[in-house]
Every structure is written in C-alpha cells, then in structure tokens.
Amino acid sequence: MADSAGIQQGSPAIGAAGLVPAAPGAGGTEGAAGGSARIAVKKAQLRSSPRPKKLEKLGVYSSCKAEGACKCNGWKSQNPPPTPPRTDQPSSTVNLQEPCRSCSHTLGDHVTHLENVSEEEMNRLLGIVLDVEYLYTCVHKEEDADTKQVYFSLFKLLRKSILQMGKPMLEAQESPPFEKPSIEQGVNNFVQYKFSHLPSKERQTIMELAKMFLNQINYWQLETPSQRRQRVPNDDAAGYKANYTRWLCYCNVPQFCDSLPRYETTQIFGRTLVRSVFTVMRKQLLEQARQEKDKLPPEKRTLILTHFPKFLSMLEEEVYSHSSPIWSQDFLAGASGGLIPIHTVISAPPVARPLYYSPSPVSVDPTTCGSVSPARKTASVLEPNPVGEKRKPSEPLPHEENKRPRVVGDIPMELINEVMATITDPAAVPETSLLSAHSARDEAARHEERRGVIEFHVIGNSLNQKPNKRILMWLVGLQNVFSHQLPRMPKEYITRLVFDPKHKTLSLIKDGRVIGGICFRMFPSQGFTEIVFCAVTSNEQVKGYGTHLMNHLKEYHIKHDILNFLTYADEYAIGYFKKQGFSKDIKVPKAKYVGYIKDYEGATLMGCELNPSIPYTEFSVIIKKQKEIIKKLIERKQAQIRKVYPGLSCFKEGVRQIPIESIPGIRETGWKPIGKGKELKDPDQLYSTLKTILQHVKSHPNAWPFMEPVKKTEAPGYYQVIRFPMDLKTMSERLKSRYYMTRKLFMADMQRIFTNCREYNPPESEYYKCANLLEKFFYTKIKEAGLIEK
C-alpha cells in the first residue's frame, strides 16, 4: 500500500510532496491520490454521458424485469468491449432492444424500473456502480485475507444497493462513534490540560502541532491484523481486528468509494486505537522528518524537528497513562453533570495536508514553547536515575478549571468566555511583581527555572552501571548540603542513604553546583514514598526553592502512580511540611508502612496525599488566575446591579412588614434566604430517618472505637477528663426509647462522641483519625437526609 515515492507502509509523507492516503488494493503500484482522482474523473465522465449510455451501464447491475420470473441478475452484452477498452474506436450506439447474452431478454427489460428515475438519482446509482467495479478489482488484488474479506463484504453491500435502488447502509452491532471520548476530543483535552495558560501566539503553535497529529491519524494506514500479530504477538488480536475492520469500512475505503458514508478516524475512534498505532507512528514520523529535513521549508524546520517530537513525547505519556484525565468523559463536566458547551480548540483537517501545514504563519520562541514539563516527561527521560538525565525547564500547566467541574450557575457562557479572554490577555493582566505581597512563594523559583538559572535532576547511585563523574559530584554536593543543614543527623548516616542505590534524590542545581535537594525512597508495592532528607543551603533560602522542589517531586510521583508521601519531621520542619500540604492525619493504612520506613525519635510522622489532576508546579499560577476571574465577574456583577430603585411606598399605606425578597433589586445582588435545616414534624418520620443515619454510621469502617462506652480498664483516667461521655450503643438505646424528639438532640450527641475523642487522644493517634473520618461521613449523611443545608 505504499505510494510510488517509496514511503514506508503506514508512514505518510512529510516533505514537500505532502501527505496522501493509500488507495485500497493499490498494491504499491500507483499513487493513492492518483487512484482517487482517476475514480472521480471516471464518475464525472459517466455522469455526463447520454441517458441511454447510463442505462446500459446500470443494466449490467440490474435484475431482469421480463415476465416469467427471469432469474438473470444483470444484463450482459452480446459484444462485450475489449479489455482494456481501445480509445481509437468510436463508442457504439446503445440499443435498448439488444438481447442479453445470459437470458436473451432485452436491455430494456433490465432497466424498465429506471424509466421515471430522475437524473440525480441515476447519477447516484452510477457512482455506486463505479465503486462496485473498483472494489471488485481490490478483492482480486488484495493478498491479506482479513482485508480481502472486508472488501468483498462492501462489494456485496454496494451491489445489493444498486439492485434495490437504496442507499448503502453498513450493518454492524455498533455504529460510530465506537469509543468516547474520541481521539480528536482527547487531543483537544490534552491541549487544554497542558497548554491553555500559554499566550495566544504560543498556544496557536501548539494547536498547529495538534492539527498535524490529527491529520496523520486520519490518513494513517493501519497494519493488517496478521502483520500486527507478527510484530506484537501478545496483543489483543480480536480487539485490533475489530477496530481494523471498522476503520476499513468507515474511514479508509470511503475515501475512494464516496457512495459509502465516510467518517474521520479521529472522530469515531478513541484511546484504544491510538494506543495501538502511536508507538509505530511516532517512530516512523520522526525518522522521516530527520531523513527529509532538507526538504522542509526553513520556517517549518524548528516546528517539526524540535517542537513536534516534544509534543509527541508529552502526548505519548497521556496516551499510555492509566490515570490521565484527558480520556475522562467528565474532563469538562459542568456542575449539573453534563458537558459544558465550549468552543472546540482543535478539529481535524477535512483534507490531507503536508505535516508542516500551517494556515497562518507563527513565529515561535524555541526557549518558551514546546519544552517538556520535567515531571510529565516519558520514563526514558527521568527513569534512568544513574545517568541523571537533565530535566528541562517546566512547561506551565493549565488552569485547574479546565479539568475540574466548573460552577456555572446562572452565569452565561458568553460572559465566562469574555472574562477568560480578558484574563489570558497579557496586556490586560499585569505581571505580579516578585516583591509583591501577593506573589506566590515559588514564583521567583519558577521564573528562574524558565530562564535556565536553576535546573532539577532526579539522580541516584548505581551498582550495575558505570559511575558518571557529574552525578557522583552532585551526590557529594548533596551530602554536604544535608550535613550542613541537618547538623543533628550523623554524617555517616546521610552519606549511606544519599549513595544508597535504593534511594533517589531530586537535586536543585544552580550555576553547576548543588544548592538543595530532597532524598527519598519509593515503595511502589506499598503505594507511598518516604522523604528522608529535605534541605536548601542557607544562603539560598527564602527564595521559594523549597516549595518548587516539593512541587517537582509531587509531579514526578504522579507520573509514577505513587500518590502518598510519608516523612518524619522535627520541630523545625513541621511548618515547612504543613505549607506543602502535609498533615498529621495519615491517609496510608498503618499496616502499609510499619516496618518499611525509618522511625526517628522526637520527630512527628506527617503525610501528604497527592491529587493526580493538579499540576503542582503551576498551581500558584492557576490560583492567581482563578482569583482574577472571580474579581472580573464581581466587577461585572457590580456594574449590572448599580441601579437605583424608587423608595418603598407601601409603608405609607399602613403596611407594617414585608418579605425581604419583595424589596426591588435585592435578589439581583445575589441575596438568598438564609437556609435552615428541615425539622421533621412527624415523630415517626424523624425516628425512621435518624435510625437509618445511625445504622450507616455504625457500619462505617471507622466506627469501631465508638461502638460501646469506654472501659475504665482500657483508658485509665478517661472519666476524669471526659465529663459527658457518649457512644453509639448509648445513642441506639436513646433512639429506641424515643429520646430524640428533634434532630438537634441527635446531632449534639453524635458531635459529643467526636469532641470527646479529640479531647482525650493525641492528633497522631488512630482514634483521632477515626473520629475525623467518621465525623465527615456523618455530616454527609445528615445533608443527604435533608436535615441540614447542603
């Protein structure tokens, strides 16, 4: 199926010749674009022929209508034209009385059903006829059994459509689209997820890269199932074959047989198909780009040779990641649960174009566009810790509102889009000074990283690879930083862990020397990482480096699907870790980490749970822009409600009191009646509701410490500290005796359980954590029952 230019199978042309799809059954002997063009020319010539000539052509595919139930399914000429037809002979006159070579009935007997058919309908049927003839050729030329079977099925379908004068309708268990979200929507989400914060010029460049990728997918020639079985023996052969068959029927063959309904590959297929082709496609595209770089226009070389590979690397990570949000159907879900109607960022090009196609010239600064976020790179860049691959400056990540449900309420989308345009316009929003009281802690560090002043590297020692001098020097530098900043920690202990192959260190490099780092050990099987040392050299502190280091570490672990940190913090470090989202409320079950992490005397165990949807290195930027959005919306709302209403005249008429909501303009300000919990009047209904809630609470996994009254033998001095004890057993007895006449009595007793627990037990205890989790669950159930406002 390769074209005459010698392009590898499945690899669209990148150079000036442009991209052309391969024709079905082309067999590598003709250019696909030429084959498609010849079919179109033939159809145009046939449709411009005299009506008798059209009837002759359609008669070949029309069953005989003569009396006597003739079984002939197509008229056959007594004198068939030579093959191939000779151009030096004039075309013969069509005679409707010419008998059929098969059934002896006339041509007119085969086309009586077409006498009153309109010219438009006849031209449509003629188009199907030429598609049938083309597919017949494909069936005989094709060597692959699976592909031949599909061609033959389509051939029979079109043949049947001519006989029945109907429209070809593919009969399948599923109809397009076959997977949601589609490839096009997934790439659209990817651009939103990674690049929506960029200035318009750079964002336009990213969109062009995305369009090029979608264009390649739409005209990519899938390998046959048999070829794929040889290349990937352990793959899901049945799933790939199903997608291959769908692709042939709905995308590939309809490019040339236009009587069949055609769909873009990127619009009807999703993540499954793109996963099956991405690796091979990326490799072949980049290889061709390198081979044909001299043919590329100068203004497109940077785009294709520099930015496109980085774009594909970032996209590859999202394609194969199990936790990527871009493939979620709720990526842009609104508060009501439906999709927010947004303007699509990218739509696949309707026609084939060269890889370097760009509708508008865009100048790109290679230092600011296309650089890959270190924590979002592919494993080949970050994983080999012994060689310490350089982590390039971080690409800013998108607004949080692009992946979390937006609270739209009664704000029209036009207003939201208008405000967003104002926020993303650099001229409309001045940059925050680094010395401003409103600047984020890591803002200075983020700016330095973008300018290349500081770098981040994940490094570690290795026992099975040749030592790298630079890595060893950095490890020595880290050992010095940790020793100076952590004087109470034995130097031998620091050295042993820093050079231990099981430990890694995220190092902060400035002017070629180490100025800080975080040493950690990952426990993938247990689902957490232990942070061992964290320090920045004293003369580089208070610059936001510590925050930026931790943010990079969080993104690195999200990439590796580890979403929990544990660390023992001394009294000097507790404040820092709290600012980074750590708390004494440990989410990891104790059984998961006991015996795995080192216990430090006099230190406090703290934990941090990571959210894979948050781009931590750009989180402060997102918050800043969200504040700007809210500020703009408030300003617009204030401008709308600055209206003076006439005074209330009803009091002159003797009215003593009016409802607040009847005051003109009060609701326009956003005022709403103060919500109060619903007090159930019916005692039986109240009893039933409270019983259900109590049963839910007692069956919760964190309710075990509160099931019965505390025993004096188990907690000496408990009743000297807790004057008013309460437990779930006592509450059950009170509920049974109809003690709870109001919801407030019930809620007060339940709250007393949690308050007593927190008063008696230390925050790091298991009981304290159980009280917090059960309290949260209890109030969720109370809200669901409508006893308090949500």
Cite the active site residues: 530
Yes or no: say if 745 and 739 are a contact pair by the CB < 8 Å rule.
Answer: yes
Q: Which residues contact 537 (CB under 8 A, 6 or more apart)?
A: 481, 484, 485, 515, 516
Residue 262: C-alpha distances to residues 176, 184, 256, 259, 787 (Å): 10, 16, 10, 9, 55
- The C-alpha atoms of residue 410 and residue 59 are separated, in whole angstroms, by 63
SS3 231: helix
Task: Please report which residue ranges of 20-67 form alpha helices under DSSP H.
Answer: 32-47, 51-59
- The C-alpha atoms of residue 22 and residue 16 are separated, in whole angstroms, by 17
Q: Is 531 exposed, middle or buried (0-12, 13-18, 19+ CB in 10 A)?
A: buried
Angle, to 10 degrees, between the axis of helix 619-641 and the axis of helix 443-451? 120
Which residues are registered as beta bridge partners of 568? 605
Residues composing the chain: 790
Yes or no: say if 276 and 240 are a contact pair by the CB < 8 Å rule.
Answer: yes
**How many other C-beta atoms lie within 10 A of the C-beta of residue 580?**
21
E runs forming strands in 672-766? none
Which two structure tokens, joined as six digits, stand for 194?
């990674």
What residues form the annotated binding site for acetyl-CoA?
534-536, 541-547, 572-575
- The C-alpha atoms of residue 211 and residue 217 are separated, in whole angstroms, by 10
- The C-alpha atoms of residue 66 and residue 99 are separated, in whole angstroms, by 12
SS3 607: strand
First to last CA, the chain: 62
For 434-493, the DSSP string reads TTSTTS-TTHHHHHHHHHTSEEEEEE---SSSPPPHHHHHHHHHHHHHHHHH-TTS-HHH
Reading across the β-sheet that carries 513-523, which strands appear in turn? 454-459, 504-510, 513-523, 528-536, 564-569, 604-609
Residue 346: C-alpha distances to residues 251, 266, 267, 354 (Å): 20, 11, 12, 17
- The C-alpha atoms of residue 253 and residue 686 are separated, in whole angstroms, by 66
528-536 and 604-609: which strand pairing?
unpaired
Yes or no: say if 355 and 19 are a contact pair by the CB < 8 Å rule.
Answer: yes
- The C-alpha atoms of residue 58 and residue 51 are separated, in whole angstroms, by 11
Q: Which residues contact 390 (CB under 8 A, 6 or more apart)?
A: 455, 457
